[in-house]
Copies of this chain bind each other. A is one copy, B any other.
Amino acid sequence: MFLNAVFAAASLLAAVCHVDALWPLPRSLSEGTSALRLSYGFHITLPPDIASPPLDLIEAVARTQAYLFTDNLGRLVVGRGASDVSAFETAPYLPELTLSLAPGSTVLSITAEAQKPLGERDEAYTLTVPSNGSAASITATSTLGLFRGLTTFGQLWYEYDGTIYAINTPLEVEDSPAYPYRGLLLDTARNYFPVSDLLRQLDAMSMVKINQFHWHVVDSQSFALQIPGYEELAEYGAYSPQMIYSASDVVEIVSYAGARGIDVLVEIDTPGHTAAIGDAHPDFVACNLARPWADYAAEPPAGQLRMANKTVAEWTAGLFSAVAEMFPSTIVSTGGDEVNTYCYQEDPETQAILKASDSTLEEALNTFVMGTHGALLKAGKTPAVWEEMVLDYNLTLSNETLVLVWISSEDVQAVAEKGFRVIHAASNYFYLDCGAGEWIGDDPSGNSWCDPFKTWQYTYTFDPLANLTTEQYPLIMGGQQNLWTEQSSPSNLDPIVWPRAASSAEVFWSGAGGNLTAALPRLHDVSFRMQQRGINSIPLQPLWAVQDFAVVLDAHV
């Protein structure tokens, strides 16, 4: 009775109902309108010609199989799938999904594939789901491709009254990402997040094929990373002994990420944003906790490594060598944003060194960065930096350096003109923390510096290639959304990030120009499926709009 009544009201809208929840949208997709049921005996078959399948592939298959029967996502229409019964009750059963690697493929783990250099990550796959009850199949030339295919396969299914079913078969997907780098930055220095929160973000990231976790692990507020040989940094710089990422935590996080097709790019921001290093090594830090802080730093507390000091520079290079050993990724960021020159001008020790060596601050910075980057290059890593390192200073950086643009998307052109590879991370499109009010000071009318809130819609309209020449296009590696955590903690992590961070995930997988109106119902599905998996993703609209309407509700509808 309940359902019938609502159906009557909703029947007018049936024509606009969406039929699938794939996110990011595959680059090539052909789908039918036939229903298909998942057999109770459904199973996924590993590639038959691999003698010893990688453990993380075996686990990914097991996870996929489990999610198929535990997601229990009711379709986001009135009745949550009751109207599909007539379509699926006589539908064939899908007995099997077969995975296969193309002949001649080198068999590595998902982890090893995900941790390859940017240009070498093979994420392509094809997925075929017949509507007649024949086995579905995923083929790829790497285990990472197979894993991406499994993720797509997992998004096809809804549940109603115990039946797991799809409604868009036969389906053919041929897919690979538009950009090799699709990331999410989480700052664990302004506020601390337990390992479990990070693992949950990795689960969510992998659901939308994000492949890069940019871990902004330390900053001036705290230094929570336990680095072998440099344990004093966390011992003195963490918020508390309980708020430390131990070396074994790092192993767990990197491993969990890798198994989900995610590489972990760690950032040790230098030479700015390093007051927390001063907790263990006060002599290494200029303007340490200096006040008024606003003269010395963009955000309290002030404190920057005495980069002109040879001991400090060598120590920092050694630190990066140690960090490079902890993280298998080929990319490590040395940071480099917001270096405050006044801090160094007012630091007698720095001024004495510069005078003695007849050097400029820029020359000292170059020597310092050559030291840290040299350590990384020696360890086989590609350094990444924030945009100031190439736009504000004339440093002798390798052209292989990855440059993250954060201040404004308008700066991308200048970075590309210098010939550097670009990661889009600009505050005006990709900052998840904007719009939550100013946290510094007692000005009651203060708003966040990067107001307004960046809606998923706004991020979704980003064009990664805007204002670039076709010659510059290959420099664009992809992009990431960023959560800076001045006002975040485990209490609000998931709701701030999800489902919004899925927005850039689609832009950089599927390419620019996606249709907002068509994306909305798919993104509803992403959010609700995340909730089913224990991620506190938020609703983008009232449930009425989600399940009764499922279209963009502009004033003309």
A residues at B contact (CB < 8 Å): 1-2, 5-6, 9, 12, 80, 189-192, 220-222, 235-236, 238-241, 278-280, 289, 291-294, 300-301, 435-448, 451-458, 460-461, 485-492, 494-495, 516-517, 520, 531, 536-545, 547-549, 552-557
Contact = CB atoms under 8 A, between A and B. Distances in A.
Given A9-B279, A239-B547, A301-B544, A556 B444 contact: no
Given A292-B557, A491-B531, A542 B80 contact: no
Contact of A453 (B240, B291, B448, B454): B448
Given A293-B553, A557-B293, A492 B536 contact: yes
Q: How many copies does the complex hold?
A: 2
Highest count of chain B CB atoms <10 Å: which of A222, A495, A540, A544? A544
A5 B494 contact: no
Nearest to A536: B491
Nearest to A515: B442
Nearest to A457: B444
A279 B455 contact: no
A541 B486 contact: yes
A301 to B, nearest CB: 7
B539 A487 contact: yes
- The secondary-structure label for the interface of chain A is loop
Nearest to A549: B300
Please list the 3 inter-chain residue pairs (A to B) with the smallest Cβ-Cβ separation, ordered nearest first: A294-B555, A492-B495, A437-B455
A440 B455 CA distance: 12
Nearest to A276: B544
Given A2-B235, A279-B5, A300-B549, A452 B455 contact: no
Nearest to A451: B452
Contacts of A441: 552-555
Given A495-B492, A557-B291, A447 B442 contact: no
B552 A442 contact: yes
Contact of A191 (B221, B536, B543, B552): B543
